[in-house]
Structure formats: C-alpha cells, structure tokens
Amino acid sequence: MKNFKALTVLALTSTLAIFGCAQAEAALPVDLGVGYANNSIIDEEGVEVKVGTEVNKFRLGLNSFTTDNRVESLGGYVGIPIYVQNTNLALVPQIRVERYFDLEETTGGVGLGVEYKITDSVRLEGVALANRSFDSSDVKGEIYTVGLTKTFR
C-alpha cells in the first residue's frame, strides 16, 4: 500500500508540474526524465523516473526506481551541471538520497552524470552513483542509469 501511495504522489506531482508550466508559463523549467537503471543495491534492473527543476545553476528533484512489478525506492537528488565549452556536453556531479521500501533502508550516494543535449529541450543522460546506507553498514552498491530528459519551459 505504501508503494501505491508513493507512486500516486509522484504521478500527481509530475502532472501538476506539467500543467502548471503549460498554463502559467512558470519561471522555473520542469524536467521530466525516464530511463533504464541497473541497481546493484537490490540487484534489480528497472525504470527510473524523475521530476525536477534547475534553480540558480543547481538541479534538484525527485526520483523513483521501479521494477516490472512495483516501486522499489523514492528519493531526491541535487546536481550542478558543468558545461563543456562549445559543445553539447555537460558533466553533472550529484548527490542522491533514496528510501528503499523492502530493505527499510535509506541510502546516500555520490556520482557523476554525463549528458548530451540533443535539442534545446531534450538531453540524453548517463549517471553512475556509489551508494551506502545511513541505517546500517550492510547495504551498499552502485546505480547506473541511461535515459532521456525533457525540459518544459
């Protein structure tokens, strides 16, 4: 039941963000991303969905990791894009905190993202994160994601 509530909140938040941007032409851009994720913390592959924005050169948002049958984790991230001059490439150092429902563990991670700007509003992203539990020393691992993100302005 917790997973359903979390997924409902995530869906509602992203829907409101999209419609809010479309209706009011909000000052902040809204990023919606989806991609493949390989998560060694729980030894699963699945889909990562994220909703975020960029404020004062900081990227922040919420993310969710879902396998074929349920939501495994919800979390948040902060990153700082560093653009490579005269290219469509950026490096994005980032930190992330995630709550895993089955493990009843919260992990924190640091990582690096690489992104390629396909158009002004679409980018291809790859992220590698190393994570460790705040709750115990047993839970640790890496998360690798590859996906597309669309920015609504």
Q: CB 109: neighbour CB atoms within 10 A?
A: 22
Could you tell me the two tokens for 141?
């691992």
CATH code assigned at 10: 2.40.160.70
Domain region containing 123? 2-152
Report pLDDT digits (tens) over 12-37: 555 555 555 444 455 799 999 999 99
pTM recorded for the entire structure: 0.79
Burial (CB count within 10 angstroms: exposed 0-12, middle 13-18, buried 19+), residue 123? buried
User: Residue 143 above 60 pLDDT?
Assistant: yes
The total number of structural domains that make up the chain: 1
Q: Could you report the per-residue pLDDT of 35-80, keeping only the tens digit for each?
A: 999 999 999 999 999 999 999 999 999 999 999 889 999 999 999 9
Residue corresponding to tokens 């404020």: 55
Per-residue pLDDT, 27: 78
pLDDT tens for residues 100-125?
Answer: 999 889 999 999 999 999 999 999 99
